[in-house]
Amino acid sequence: MNKSERVRVLGVINEHIANDTTADAGGVMRVPMSDFTCQQLLAQEQDVFFRNTALCMGLSSALPEPKTYWSDNETGIPILMVRDDEGRFRAYANVCRHRGSQIAPEGRGSKDRFTCPYHAWTYGIDGRLLAVNKNSHFGNVCRKDLSLFELPSAELHGTLWVRPTQGDPIDEAECIGGLEEDLAHWQLADFPFAHTQVIDVRANWKMAVDTFAENYHVSVLHAKTVGKEMKANVQTCDIFQNNLRFVYPNQKLDLIRFLTSDTKRWPYRQIASTLYFLYPNVIMVVDSFGVDLVRIFPRDDSPSKSRTVHTWYVSPKVQPHLKEAGYTYEERVSRFREVIVNEDYETIAKIQLNAERGTQSEMLLGRNEGALQHIHNTLRMEVGLDVLPVEEN
Ligand code: FES
Ligand SMILES: [Fe+2]
């Protein structure tokens, strides 16, 4: 996100505050509650989004050097990601070609070969089958034909992408079209992996995504926690194909506005968090402390359950100061967890129940919830549902 773009964004925020509005145009959208409860829709979403779309899995430092691996089952397909001998990012189905066991346990680590825990077939980090235990029992089977199934993968400006199903190479434009310059600007590859945590909630996965994409609620739901630091109901929203960028200012903005009205002189990193919706299921928050990558998935094949995988990558500039201050990564992520679990997810779990009981047939998204409007319509379109109209009023 270059300097002129930041100044433009801050100008928009300034105008919104001056006019007490969060959007210049738009209207209200009605989203049917069945979008959060329909089993058939979930099956389509799993096929389209979680099998056949390239997903942002993490930042480059999740695989910090050659011969490191990361095994992740959250999409529903067991995926083994590696950085090979040459440092190249690659992904495989984490499935043994003998009888289909998972060859690498979930988690991250260093390894240059993987031995299946069932009958000890061994694979190299390049996916090749290196050894068959008691080879003679398999006669003439050709090891060359029994490599791990390679999945399409790409490393783009410090971000790691995998499509869980074999097929064509990943199209960079499809993943981050229009955001290349933004992502390059943040130098994401330099942010070390700090900590990760899993949060389950009894609510639809899109409802979990929604909680991150508007700050209308922060002075209400988060009044006693992060609402004290964030500025509520002021955000920008820029669309980049299926993705979004939205910027949230914090409370320091009031002081800066008081000092100068010249937005060119406003210290962007100190007063704003930059968020991205990376289609279809990721929220990435870039602030002065680092990057929070929030990946959200349906769970147990249920429209009523989801899992959030939150990973924090610390800013290389901040990292030494955190150590000096004795502030641990665990403290940082547990604070994030408390707010999400006790406030956001507690609320959406109740909304989910109401949706299932049929007490309300639709929800309303206002002009100030434009990011949510974009997300819902984009996701609907991709599974062949009608685009929801925006009612100008
Ligand atoms: S299933 Fe992997 S070695 Fe048998
Ligand atoms: Fe929230």
Give, for all 393 residues of the chain, the pLDDT tens digit.
888 888 899 988 888 888 777 666 789 999 999 999 999 999 999 999 999 999 999 999 999 999 999 999 999 999 999 999 999 999 999 999 999 999 999 999 999 999 999 999 999 999 999 999 999 999 878 888 999 999 999 999 999 999 999 999 999 999 998 999 999 999 999 999 999 999 999 999 999 999 999 999 999 999 999 999 999 898 899 999 999 999 999 999 989 988 988 889 999 989 999 999 999 999 999 999 999 999 999 999 999 999 999 999 999 999 999 888 888 999 999 999 999 999 999 999 999 999 999 999 999 999 999 999 999 999 999 999 999 999 987
Report the pLDDT value the prediction gives residue 23, as an integer from 0 to 100: 63
- CATH of 55-170, picked from 3.10.310.10, 3.30.470.20, 2.102.10.10, 3.40.50.300, is 2.102.10.10
Whole-number Å distance, alpha carbon 122 to ligand 1 midpoint, is 9
| Ligand 1 pocket test target in 80, 95, 97, 98 with most atoms within 8 Å of CB | 98
Sheet with strand 89-93: strands edge to edge: 107-110, 68-72, 79-83, 89-93, 150-151
Cβ of 168: how many Cβ atoms within 10 Å? 7
Report the pLDDT value the prediction gives residue 391, as an integer from 0 to 100: 93
Q: List all residues whose CB is within 6 A of at least one atom of ligand 1.
A: 96, 98-99, 101, 116, 118-121
Ligand nearest to the CA of 225: 2
CATH 3.90.380.10 intervals, the chain: 3-50+180-391
Looking at the DSSP assignment, which residues form a beta bridge with residue 250? 230
- Which atom belonging to ligand 1 lies closest to the Cα atom of 116? 2
Whole-number Å distance, alpha carbon 89 to ligand 1 midpoint, is 25
226 CB contacts (<8 Å, ≥6 apart)? Answer: 218, 339
Note the Cα 307 to chain centre separation in Å: 12
Task: Please tell me the distance from the alpha carbon of residue 234 to that of residue 350, in angstroms, as a whole number.
Answer: 26
Ligand nearest to the CA of 232: 2
Task: Please tell me the distance from the alpha carbon of residue 247 to that of residue 254, in angstroms, as a whole number.
Answer: 16
Report the pLDDT value the prediction gives residue 22, as an integer from 0 to 100: 67
Whole-number Å distance, alpha carbon 127 to ligand 1 midpoint, is 15
Ligand nearest to the CA of 283: 2
- Which atom belonging to ligand 1 lies closest to the Cα atom of 96? 2
* Nearest alpha carbon to residue 302 among 186, 202, 213, 373: 202
The CATH architecture to which 3-50+180-391 belongs is Alpha-Beta Complex (3.90)
**pTM, entire model:** 0.96
CATH 2.102.10.10 intervals, the chain: 55-170
Whole-number Å distance, alpha carbon 129 to ligand 2 midpoint, is 47
Whole-number Å distance, alpha carbon 199 to ligand 2 midpoint, is 14
